[in-house]
A and B are shown apart, each in its own frame.
Chain A
Amino acid sequence: MAKILEGIRVFDLTIAAVGPWATKLLGALGADVIKVEAPGGDRLSHMVPPTIKGNSVLYISANHNKRMIELDLKKEADRAIALKIIAHSDVFVQNMRPGAVERLGLGYEVVAKINPRMIYVAASAYGRTGPMAGEAGIDPTVQSFCGWCGITGPKHGRGELFRHLAHLDLTTATTITQAVLQALIARERTGRGQRIEIEMLTAAMALQTTRLAEYFATGTQPAPLGSAAATTAPHQAFICEDQRYLAIGVERDEQWPGFCRALKLGELITDERFATNPLRVKHRDELIPILTERLKTKPAEWWTIRLNQEKVPNGLFLKFEELRNHPQVIANGHIVELNTPHWGQMAVDGLPWKFERTPAGPIRAGGKPGEHTAEVLRDLGIVDDRSVGVSK
């Protein structure tokens, strides 16, 4: 079956996670993604632990659905090959430090001259202007800078980092993928390519758009609230009799009566203090102790059954092994088991979208640096006239 991005070729000059994850998603949509690495690959991508059979999982994971080639862009012969691939490409993605790609002679002006239809993405941590222009950034430094540690932590406690150090990387990556798709649509209509700039900092701020709005409205820094939501209530975790925490989310007023019935606290339905969401948020400190007392009298599963009957959102705090084998996860392919030629079987992220007519995927392991150099050059009809062989 035809893939959405069939016939679209991506010249992928990305490193670490931000750029690679973006092009991996384009690959899942059917693009021919050619990941170009310097011999041996970049240190950051290949050194990050943990490893599987000696290769960094970050590298393995961020480079599915691609063909891997090696070119030493500091050498004229290799650069000439790169320019030929660029002439045959539709999308160019790079996330090197500002200025680095220009020094390799592959800045936008050069590329656009060879290929005016090129969609050229330059992603960076802090952008090309301002006092921090050109500075590198990684997930934890951008987390620290972008304000989101200040809204995350125990109730009114110290703000903390999110220890899964990839969320802002991947948020930026998905923003790149989205921008490329937008530019492909624009190109169908205008016939022209363009340059797209994306900063990780702005992507991280956009992800906090609802929380920044609270600050703009009040002029006061929103405090960490543990598991609680700031603008809806009750929307937090409660400990149950079996010492498990249960997440409950009443976000809509129509969920409130059912929630009260599930807890057998029918008298709260007509309590004026709690009649609407704004009132429940305002009287949170009166409401939550009542609910806490009630919920600790029965085990989590007992409440789950009652809340499900009333269609009130609720869920347990799950862990990896529970998730990997969770029927819901398996049924929807949220996490899938992938057989790879080099690294054995592993659990990988499933595709984030479903297309009824043009299914994305299947997910395919990428490869080791340079694994597909000869194949790609052959496919593109590029004669490799360098004296040093490229086969691995």
Chain B
Amino acid sequence: MNNAGSLDGFRVIDFTQGLCGPFCTMQLGDAGAEVIKIEPPAGDFARRMGPPFVGDESAVFLSLNRNKKSVVLDLETASGREAAARLTCGADVIVEDFAPNAAETVGLGYAQLQGANQKLVYCSITPFGEDGALRDAPGSELVVQAMAEYAASLGRIGDPPVRVGADVASLNTGIFAAQAILAALFHRIRTGEGQRVAVSEFGSLLHMRGIMWSSMSDPDDWYGFHLDHYTKPPDYGYQTKNGALYFILRRGNSEDWDRLVMELGMEEVLADPRFGDYGRAATSIGRYATEVKPIWEKAFENRTREELVDLVKSIGGDAVPIMDYPSLLAHPQVAALEAIAEIDHPTAGRLKMVRPVACFSETPESIRLPPPALGQHTEEVLRVTNFAASKSK
């Protein structure tokens, strides 16, 4: 297994569409699994997300489907269902996000498959969870964010709601789905037992806010950043002469603090109790940070953020510019981490994408296949599966 991925040799049959399931199975593919993406004749609906499109391909779709083979099956026909059943027989993992009862209708429910494949790990992804009145309700990225109260930490009270720009309901759930599958595979390796696992987008987003639920239970005082996000104004960081930055003071001593204050010409704050403890309560998550922000911004208005970042770092604080995508992707740290990978795509040209996150010393993750065209591997995969099926008869 020299340099093979952790999941080398495992086969995943992926019936999911959109963002969440595909992000999950892409990670299994990165880890070395063979991922067979089953698409309806019209294709994964993410293929129609956009613009932007790169050639004929949706940029969103391209970002979620590397390391997969695309097989088109019409599960509304008997032959499509038969082919699906044959594929699932030899599968290690099935991932599905079918509408309620749809899996059973086409013969792909866990109870239907388990008999022929006791070792199967079967993962279901739902919007709101498998129990309760909303178990059959459809979800969307924004609907789940809204119901999990993500908008309470953004925007201004009374203004129209603001969502998290990233697709967190989908992608964070994709991570939990991958965890559930990996945990179940580990159990299977140790005991021989497969099982069904499930995650939901609503449950995942609520999990991610757990510190807040506990904070709001019975706090000693109505103070602290896991509480006051409800009441604070929008946080744009700190304006400087040429853009915004964010900073926090935490390791500096008295000498450092005096130097910062003098360099910035802010001597008057030395007598201001809100700037006590060397300014720690006056920045970032500090108690007085929001109300004293204008004092900092006055001192920053004639300085560039580059010089301010250097100054804060020189006194033991942390400071970073607030960056957009062009500045992030041009940053030497992103280059040093090789955070962006590239792969050639037959029609969309050379694609850039974020590399697999974790770096493993023994079983490295890899990008082996570009995102597939619709049905690109139907023939190849079905030929091999049929051959195997006929041989076993």
B81 within 8 A of A: no
B184 close to A152 (CB less than 8 A): no
Contact status B144-A334, CB under 8 Å: no
Structural contact, B333 and A130, CB atoms closer than 8 A: yes
Residues of B contacting A: mostly = mixed
- Whether B130 sits at the interface, judged by CB under 8 Å, is yes
| A185 at interface by CB-CB < 8 Å | yes
Contact between A281 and B51 (Cβ–Cβ < 8 Å)?
yes
Q: Is A354 in contact with B199, judged by CB distance below 8 angstroms?
A: yes
CB proximity to B under 8 Å, residues A197-240: 197-199, 201-203, 205-218, 221-222, 224-229, 231-232, 235-237, 239
| B318-355 to A contact mask, C-beta < 8 Å, 1/0 | 11111111111100111111010000000000011111
- Residues of A near B161 (CB, < 8 A) are 226-227, 237, 245, 247, 317
CA distance A227 to B186 in the complex (A): 40
Whether the pair A311, B138 counts as a contact (CB closer than 8 A) is yes
A252 and B184 alpha carbons, distance in the complex (Å): 31
For the complex, what is the distance from the CA of A211 to the CA of B64, rounded to whole Å? 11
For the complex, what is the distance from the CA of A311 to the CA of B184, rounded to whole Å?
A: 32
Contact A212 B325 (CB under 8 A): yes
- One of A32-40, A80-88, A155-163, A382-390 at the interface: A155-163
Contact residues of A: prevailing secondary structure: mixed
How far, in Å, is A194 (CB) from chain B's closest CB?
4
| Interchain CA distance A227-B227 in the complex, whole Å | 22
Say if the beta carbon of B132 comes within 8 Å of chain A.
yes
A198-B358 contact in complex given A190-B1, A249-B140, C-beta closer than 8 Å: yes
Measured between alpha carbons, how far is A335 from B127 in the docked complex, in Å?
16
Q: Which residue of A lies closest to B238 (CB)?
A: A144
Any B CB within 8 A of the CB of A62: yes
Cβ distance B208 to chain A, nearest Cβ, rounded Å? 5
Distance from B133 Cβ to chain A, minimum over Cβ atoms (Å): 6
- The digit string for B17-38, where 1 denotes a CB below 8 A from any CB of A, is 0110001000100010000000
Q: Is A270 an interface residue (CB 8 A)?
A: no
* A25–B179 CB distance below 8 A: yes
- The answer to whether B143 and A350 have CB atoms under 8 Å apart is no
A175 touches B213 (CB 8 A): no
Closest to B155 in A: A154
A161 to B52 alpha-carbon distance, docked (Å): 25
Give which listed residue, B146, B190, B220, contacts A247 with CB less than 8 A.
Answer: B146
Q: Are B216 and A320 in contact (CB under 8 A)?
A: yes
A130-186 interface with B by 8 A CB criterion: 130-133, 135-138, 140-141, 143-155, 158-167, 170-171, 174-179, 181-186
Q: For chain B, give the interface size range.
A: 35 or more
CA–CA, A58 to B335, complex, Å?
A: 33
- Contacts A185-B7, A213-B63: A227 and B147 contacting too (C-beta < 8 A)? no
- In the complex, the answer to whether B160 meets A239 with C-beta atoms within 8 Å is yes
Decide: B226 and A58 in contact? CB cutoff 8 A.
Answer: yes
For B165, list chain A residues within 8 Å (CB). 148, 150-153, 208, 211, 222, 224-225
> Which residue of A53, A158, A194, A235 contacts B140 across the interface (Cβ within 8 Å)?
A235
Q: Are A174 and B166 in contact (CB under 8 A)?
A: no
> Bound state CA distance, A248 and B160, in angstroms?
14
Contacts of B363 in A (CB 8 A): 182-183, 186, 190, 194
Cβ-based interface call for A347 (8 A): yes
Q: Which of A67-75, A99-107, A321-329, A366-374 contacts B (4 or more CB under 8 A)?
A: A321-329
Does B176 lie at the interface of the complex (its beta carbon under 8 Å from any beta carbon of A)? yes
Shortest distance between the CB of A338 and any CB in chain B (Å)? 8
In the complex formed, the residue of A with least CB distance to B184 is A355
Q: How far is the CB of B352 from chain A (nearest CB, A)?
A: 5
Contacts of A185 in B (CB 8 A): 6-7, 182, 185-186, 189
Which of A52, A164, A227 sits near B209, CB closer than 8 Å?
A164
Complex alpha-carbon distance, A206 and B324, angstroms: 15
Nearest Cβ in chain B — how far from A76, in angstroms?
27
Kindly state the separation between the CA atoms of A313 and B136 in the bound complex, as whole angstroms.
11
Determine whether the beta carbon of A167 is less than 8 Å from that of B168. yes
Which chain A positions have C-beta within 8 A of B149? 317-320, 323
A70: min CB distance to chain B, Å: 23
Contact A178 B358 (CB under 8 A): yes
- 0/1 string, A302-342, CB within 8 A of B gives 1: 00000010011111111110011001111111110000000
Complex Cα spacing A8 to B319, Å: 39
Pick the residue among A5, A145, A255, A323 that contacts B323 (CB under 8 A).
Answer: A145
* Contact of B89 with A by CB under 8 A: no
Q: Are B318 and A50 within 8 A (Cβ)?
A: no
Chain B residues within an 8 Å CB radius of A199:
337, 357
> In the complex, which of the residues A132, A138, A217 has the most CB atoms of chain B within 10 Å of its own CB atom?
A217
Instruction: Indicate if the CB atoms of A218 and B52 lie closer than 8 Å.
Output: yes
Name the contact of A277 in the complex, choosing from B48, B145, B148, B150 (C-beta under 8 A): B48
B325 touches A215 (CB 8 A): yes
Decide if A61 is an interface residue (CB 8 Å cutoff). yes
B202 at the interface (CB under 8 A from A): yes
Contacts of A198 in B (CB 8 A): 357-359
A11 contacts B by Cβ under 8 Å = no
Instruction: Write the nearest CB–CB distance from B129 to chain A, whole angstroms.
Output: 3
Q: Check if A293 is an interface residue, CB within 8 A of chain B.
A: no
The answer, yes or no, to whether B197 is at the interface (CB within 8 Å) is yes
Report the minimal beta-carbon distance from B328 to chain A, rounded to whole angstroms: 4
Q: How far is the CA of A123 from the CA of B101 in the complex (A)?
A: 41
Quick one: given A199-B337, A231-B51, A235-B140, are A57 and B211 in contact (CB under 8 Å)? Answer: yes
Q: Would A182 and B323 count as touching, CB distance under 8 A?
A: no
**Is A50 touching B226 in the complex (CB atoms < 8 A)?**
yes
Query: Is A347's CB under 8 angstroms from B217's CB?
Result: yes
Contact A277 B284 (CB under 8 A): no
Q: Is the CB–CB distance between A352 and B203 below 8 Å?
A: yes
| A140 to B238 alpha-carbon distance, docked (Å) | 12
**Looking across the interface, which residue of chain A has its beta carbon closest to that of B172?**
A171
Task: Determine the chain B residues whose CB is within 8 A of the CB of A146 once the complex forms.
Answer: 323, 328
A353 to chain B, nearest CB (A): 4
For residue B155, which residues in chain A have a CB less than 8 angstroms away from its CB?
153-154, 160, 226
Cβ contacts under 8 Å, A345 to chain B: 217-218
Residue A376 at the chain B interface, CB threshold 8 Å: no
Give the complex CA separation of A60 and B49 in angstroms: 41
Q: Nearest residue in B to A354 (C-beta to C-beta)? A: B198
- Contact residue among A57, A60, A154, A231 (Cβ-Cβ distance under 8 Å from B162): A154
Residue A282 is within 8 A (CB to CB) of chain B in the complex: yes
29 A-B pairs, CB-CB below 8 angstroms? Answer: A2-B191, A25-B179, A50-B222, A130-B335, A140-B246, A144-B323, A145-B323, A153-B162, A164-B153, A166-B226, A181-B179, A183-B6, A189-B189, A192-B362, A197-B358, A209-B171, A216-B351, A218-B52, A226-B162, A232-B140, A247-B161, A253-B45, A317-B161, A319-B152, A334-B203, A348-B213, A353-B179, A355-B180, A358-B187
Given contacts A152-B163, A319-B149, A347-B213, 10 further A-B contacts (CB under 8 A): A49-B223, A138-B284, A163-B229, A167-B168, A171-B172, A227-B146, A231-B49, A237-B160, A249-B140, A323-B147
